[in-house]
Amino acid sequence: MTSSKKVTVGIDIGGTNTVFGLVDAQGNCLLQKAIKTTDYPLVEDFVSKVTKELKDLISTESNLEVVGMGIGAPNANYYTGTIEFAPNLKWEGIIPLTQLFSAHFNFPVFLTNDANAAAIGERIYGAAKGVNDFVMVTLGTGLGSGFVVNGDLVYGHDGFAGELGHTIVEKDGRACGCGRMGCLETYASASGIVRTAKELMQNNSNSALATLKELSSKSIADAALQGDALALEIFDYTAEKLGFSLANTVALTSPKLIVLFGGLAQSGDLILKPTKKHMEAYLLKIFKNKVAVVPSKLKAADAAILGASALAWQNI
C-alpha cells in the first residue's frame, strides 16, 4: 500500500485573475490552474467552477490527501471567513466564502486578506524568512498589505487589519472604488499608475507612451526602460505617493523590511529605487537608512498560491 502525500489547496483571488493549486508541506506547488475572476459576477458560480477544477486537479494523482484549504482574497476576514465590501470584486456586500467552499469539501477552509497570505508565504519561503517585523505590499489591481509584528500576522480585533491601500494619501484626491477619495491604491497600483500616465500625458505628447494602443504598468515600464522621460516621471510620481505612505507606516510599526510584490513590483528597480528614495526623504531621523525595500523572492506564478496554502498549513 502506497502512503498518501499530504497537500493543501491554495487559492488566490485577485480583482482580475484567480489562481489555485495544490502545495505539499515543503512548499512545492504540484499542480495549478487559473481562471478569470471577472468571468463570474455571481460568487456561487465562481465557487462551483473552482470546486470542479480543483476536484479535477486532485483526481489527477491518485495518492494525494488534501488536508486543508487556504484562500487569499481582497477584504477578506480571517475570523469570520467572509469577504466584506470588496471594492475590487464584483461580489457585493458580505460573502461567506469559507462556508461556500466548505459545503463542497470535507477539509477545513481558511481565508485571509490576499496580502496577509502573501506575507505568510514570504516569511516561510521568500524574502522575509526569519524576519519578525515586516510589511508585505502587493501592488496588483489594487494595493494590499500584510503586517507581521513580533513574528505574528496582524489581523486586528475584527480580522481586517492591513489595509494600507485604503489609507488616504491625498485628501480630496482621486476617487477610489471604496467610495472615498485619495486612497493610496488609486496612485500606487497597476491601475493607479495608468491613471497617473493618463493625467500626465495630457501635457506631454512627445512621449513614446502617446503612441501606445493600451497603457499598462508593463508598457509604462517598458517605455521607462527605454529612457522615456514621461514614463520615468510617472514612476517617480507613483513612488513618491508610495514612499510617503511607507514612511508614515514605518513610524507606526517600525518594520525591518518592506517586501513589494505583484504586477507593478515586477518593474523592479524602476519602482523600488524611487520608492526607497522618497521613503527615506520622508522618514523620521531615527528610522533613516534602516528599512530595506526589497522585491518578493517568491516565483510570481506560484507566490500567491504558496501564500494561501501556507495559511492552511499554519492552521491545521
The CA distance from 289 to 10, in Å, is 36
Q: Quick one: 72 or 162, whose CB is closer to a second copy?
A: 162
CA neighbours within 13 Å on the CB side: how many for 76? 27
CA 232 to chain centre: 24
Q: Quick one: 213 or 285, whose CB is closer to a second copy?
A: 285
> At its nearest, how many Å lie between a second copy and the CB of residue 234?
20
Binding to a second copy by CB under 8 A, coded x per residue (else -) over 129-158, reads --xxx-----------x-x-xx-x-xxxxx
> At its nearest, how many Å lie between a second copy and the CB of residue 227?
29
Binding to a second copy by CB under 8 A, coded x per residue (else -) over 153-182, reads -xxxxxxxxxxx-xxx--x------xxx--
Selected binder of a second copy within 253, 269, 299, 301 (CB under 8 A): 253
Interface segment toward a second copy; rule CB under 8 A; list 24-32, 39-47, 200-208, 281-289: 281-289
In the window 74-93, what residues touch a second copy (CB under 8 A)? 75, 84-85
> At its nearest, how many Å lie between a second copy and the CB of residue 131?
8
Selected binder of a second copy within 32, 48, 96, 282 (CB under 8 A): 282
Interface segment toward a second copy; rule CB under 8 A; list 43-51, 208-216, 250-258, 264-272: 250-258
The residue among 2, 1, 39, 3 whose CA lies nearest residue 18 is 39
Interface segment toward a second copy; rule CB under 8 A; list 25-33, 272-280, 285-293, 298-306: 285-293
C-alpha cell at 114: 490576499
> At its nearest, how many Å lie between a second copy and the CB of residue 311?
16
> Which distant-in-sequence residues (6+ apart) come within 8 Å of 55 by Cβ?
none
> At its nearest, how many Å lie between a second copy and the CB of residue 229?
24
Selected binder of a second copy within 25, 210, 284, 301 (CB under 8 A): 284
Q: Measuring CA to CA, how many Å separate 152 from each of 115, 116, 218, 307?
A: 14, 11, 34, 15
Query: Is 249 one of the binding residues for a second copy (CB under 8 A)?
Result: yes
Binding to a second copy by CB under 8 A, coded x per residue (else -) over 33-62, reads ------------------------------
User: What number of other Cβ atoms are within 10 A of residue 265's Cβ?
Assistant: 23
Q: Quick one: 205 or 253, whose CB is closer to a second copy?
A: 253
Query: Is 255 one of the binding residues for a second copy (CB under 8 A)?
Result: yes
Rg (CA), the chain: 20
Q: Quick one: 229 or 251, whose CB is closer to a second copy?
A: 251
DSSP string, 178-200: TSSB-BGGGTSSHHHHHHHHHHH
The residue among 142, 145, 143 whose CA lies nearest residue 153 is 145
Provide the binding-site residues for a second copy, judged by CB under 8 A: 75, 84-85, 131-133, 145, 147, 149-150, 152, 154-164, 166-168, 171, 178-180, 244, 247-249, 251-256, 282, 284-287, 290
